[in-house]
Amino acid sequence: MITALLLLLAVCPLHEQHMAEARHDTFGFSHESSKHAFRLFDDGGAIELRATKESDAATIAAIRKHLQSIASEFTKSDFSTPHFVHDKTPAGVATMQRLTNAIQYRYEELPAGARVRIRTTDAEALKAVQDFLRWQIAEHQTGDSGNVERDQN
């Protein structure tokens, strides 16, 4: 029985997506109760997470705790969480780690969620940050444009 189940999982065309969602759900909120956005700005970008329901206090609290941790980890050049979620290293990470002193990560609260605002004035670091964010857009299938926009927050 277990062998048959493992075989079914191995041939499931959405197996990687299911595993990523399961790993993501370990942070205290699910894909169903939250929405990712990855935004690119002329000085970097942002990782944004919001609860799908503004009244969902538990999800909002979990999102905020998670993104506080992400901002802290990234500041220390620790990208193990994105690797854990996706089971691979995202694009841009090696350069972001090498140029860690040229990049700032700041946690900011948003209505029904939070974000990690990423800033740099270094051209190589900017390219790496934006490669990282575009990779996240594709992996999470958020539908974000991946185009540089103006930060409204």
- Give the pLDDT means over successive 10-residue stretches in the chain (153 positions): 47 51 57 91 97 96 96 95 78 97 98 98 98 95 95 85
Structure tokens at 89: 């290293």
Which single residue is written with the structure tokens 């959405």? 14
Question: pTM for this one?
Answer: 0.81
Buried b (16+ CB within 10 A) or exposed e, 93-127: bebbeebeebbebebeebebbbbbbbbbeeeebbe
**What pLDDT is attached to residue 41?**
98
Sign of CA dihedral 95, 98, 103, 105: positive
CA atoms within 13 A on the CB side of 121: 0
**What pLDDT is attached to residue 108?**
98
